[in-house]
Structure 1
Amino acid sequence: MEQTSHAFTIDLRRLTVLRELRRRGSLARTAEALHLTPSAVSQQIASLAREVGAPLTERDGRGVRLTGQARVLLAHADVIAAQLERARADLTAYGEGGRARARIGCFSSGILGLLPAALRALRDRLPHVRLDVVEAEPPDLFTALDGGQVDVAVAVDFAAAPPHTDPRYTREDLLTDVLDVALPPGHPLVDRAGVPLRELALDTWVVGDALSCCGAVTRSVCAAAGFTPDVRHDVNDWAALAGLVEAGAGVALVPRLVRSLYAGRNLVLRPAEGDPPSRNVFVAVRAGSERDPVLKAVREELRSAADDLGAARPGGGGRDAVVGRPGSAG
């Protein structure tokens, strides 16, 4: 393939496809994420390769992998995308009133436990800005962030989330969300002040699917405790999870972000003994867009809501049974 000339142009939409291919690792998964056909993805990558005059993919068994030239181009693509976001933010700040709409993508228990306080504060602070909320988790959440379908992402650190060092995003940690053990009435451990997770190795478990943040974290926590949970019930709804635990069908881990929703339910929440299992919650925006005054306000109110949650959170596990209402276990 011919090398690049001094005057070449790049279609930024094709760069977006290449960035998504880096995230997804295959043409089929990239196509699914971008709502394209695999053939269309291949054509976009091939066109981009012709534009830059360098091969961007090579065969790898039945699939493809990125070339060294593609990774060089992606490093520049991240810088280009960030600079465009800075330009957008500066133009927004220059115009009277700034942007009129912002979209927040968030996992379900974050919507239940974190967003309400932030949205109430933002309604007073930004009365003329429309704030939309979308329930989503990585990796789809960050595909939406890259594509502009959401402007702010609130997520949990787990394998599907981008690393802290990802140059595409400006991110900030918000809070550590502790997971408590949910036990059915009459369980042998309900009278313990703290529950050793290893003593639940022979119990049946109610867990969200492995691709959800809470499902992934629960499986990881159990593995760290030295066992693989016997997952009999694969449930992505907090009310359904509570109902199964109440019925004695299994035990579960419940994030404190949704603890208040379980008040009055006939099940018992106890802290795990030792270092409590937890998950890190963070907020991210596209690199460069952190200068946008509306997105800056959204991040500030999310941080304030997270700080208030940390201050109000109980220091240990209470002995009250606690209930949920419908919501998915993310």
Structure 2
Amino acid sequence: MEQVSETFTVDLRRLTVLRELQRRGSLARTAEALHLTPSAVSQQIAALSREIGTPLTERDGRGVRLTGQARVLLTHADAIAAQLERARSDLAAYGEGGRGSVTIGCFSSGILGLLPGVLRGLAARLPDVRVEVVEAEPPDLFTALDAGQVDVAVAVDFAATPPHTDRRYSRIDVLRDVLDIVVPTNHRLTGGKQVALRELATDTWVAGDARSCVGAITRAVCATSGFTPDIRHAVNDWSALAALVEAGAGVALIPRLVRPLYEHRRLAVLTTEGEPPSRNIFAAVRTGAEGDPVLRAVRDQLRSSAAESATPRTETP
């Protein structure tokens, strides 16, 4: 395949597979994300390569890597996907967006602390629109967004999240969610004074798995404060994490968005010295879909509900 075909056509489904391969970096991970076999992924890429008449992958040890031609094609794939979304948005706007359905993909604590208000607001604003919620985190959340299984992705910025410069998505910031330091009530630092996070460098910590949002945020915040936390207990559920802190198993960072899960427990919430640690919550749609009236209403409601959910720090018990 030395010359690009002058009459090539492109199967958009195969472009989706190529985009996922770019994100995941291997045939096996791409296959897992798309619920295909590695052989099926290879066949889709090979078929796309034949369609356009140029190689898209090359061997890299036991795996494959994208060719320069594939990366050129992917820049056009992003533009094609965005234009299709604009067409869909224009059609939806023509009908004034008063009917239809929308699926919101969101992380678990966002579902707990943010989406109830969003759903109530949307029920009042768009009573004829069916709203569905799916729990998911990056990178799977954005695979679902690319595939059209999710229309709005609500996520936390961390390593597994697409960067701000990713042209496939149009995103808005929704909420700066403060992370409270929670410790057992008999902890040496309780008593009302402000504490620096670094003062907990020698403590045992409770945090999530490093690959999860729960664990990644804690590790990143502690690293910024100059230490690596001694994580003895790895749990990805905020309620379970709070229970372990209450039992004296360690200290932790817990976002205010999940306050209902721990405000009834006997925990001490320490006042942070200086600017408190926080995580950034954002909402993304496929580029080109910004004009869809339903998706615009969802994003507006997310910001409105986020403003209402922002609450002051719990006092130390």
TM-score by length of 2: 0.96
C-alpha contact (below 8 Å) 1:11/1:48 kept by paired residues: yes
SS at match of 2:264: strand
Task: Please name the residue that 1:90 is paired with.
Answer: 90
Task: Please name the residue that 2:14 is paired with.
Answer: 14
The CA deviation string for residues 118-149 of structure 1, in whole angstroms up to 9 with x for no partner, is 11110011111111111111100000000011
- 1:244 and 2:244 equivalent? yes
The correspondence of residues 59-70 of structure 1 with structure 2, limited to 5 A, is 59-70=59-70
Q: Counterpart of 2:72 in structure 1: which amino acid? A: V
Task: Please name the residue that 2:74 is paired with.
Answer: 74
Q: CA deviation at 1:202?
A: 1.4
SS at match of 1:319: coil
Q: CA deviation at 1:107?
A: 0.8
Q: CA deviation at 1:292?
A: 1.0
Task: Please name the residue that 1:266 is paired with.
Answer: 266
- 1:320 and 2:307 equivalent? no
C-alpha contact (below 8 Å) 1:179/1:271 kept by paired residues: no
Q: CA deviation at 1:286?
A: 0.5
Task: Please name the residue that 2:292 is paired with.
Answer: 292
The correspondence of residues 97-176 of structure 1 with structure 2, limited to 5 A, is 98-176=98-176
In structure 2, C-alpha distance between the alignment counterparts of 1:99 and 1:86, rounded to whole Å: 18
In structure 2, C-alpha distance between the alignment counterparts of 1:201 and 1:12, rounded to whole Å: 50
SS at match of 1:290: coil
In structure 2, C-alpha distance between the alignment counterparts of 1:153 and 1:34, rounded to whole Å: 18
Please say which of residues 255-264 and 244-253 is displaced more in the overlay: 255-264
SS at match of 2:13: helix
Q: Residues 178, 96 of structure 1: CA spacing in aligned structure 2 closer, same or farther, 3 A cutoff?
A: closer
In structure 2, C-alpha distance between the alignment counterparts of 1:195 and 1:212, rounded to whole Å: 27
C-alpha contact (below 8 Å) 1:154/1:283 kept by paired residues: yes
- List alignment gaps of at least 5 residues for structure 2: none
Q: Residues 137, 288 of structure 1: CA spacing in aligned structure 2 closer, same or farther, 3 A cutoff?
A: same
In structure 1, C-alpha distance between the alignment counterparts of 2:301 and 2:273, rounded to whole Å: 33
TM-score by length of 1: 0.93
C-alpha contact (below 8 Å) 1:194/1:272 kept by paired residues: yes
SS at match of 2:226: coil
SS at match of 1:130: strand
C-alpha contact (below 8 Å) 1:93/1:293 kept by paired residues: yes
The CA deviation string for residues 72-95 of structure 1, in whole angstroms up to 9 with x for no partner, is 000000000000011111122223
C-alpha contact (below 8 Å) 1:3/1:52 kept by paired residues: no
C-alpha contact (below 8 Å) 2:103/2:133 kept by paired residues: yes
Q: CA deviation at 1:210?
A: 1.1
C-alpha contact (below 8 Å) 2:203/2:230 kept by paired residues: yes
Q: Counterpart of 2:103 in structure 1: which amino acid? A: R
Q: How many residues align?
A: 317
* Identical columns (%): 73
Q: CA deviation at 1:318?
A: 3.9
SS at match of 1:167: coil
- 1:257 and 2:253 equivalent? no
In structure 2, C-alpha distance between the alignment counterparts of 1:318 and 1:47, rounded to whole Å: 58
- 1:231 and 2:231 equivalent? yes
SS at match of 2:193: coil
Q: Counterpart of 1:278 in structure 2: which amino acid? A: S
- 1:204 and 2:204 equivalent? yes
In structure 1, C-alpha distance between the alignment counterparts of 2:170 and 2:97, rounded to whole Å: 23
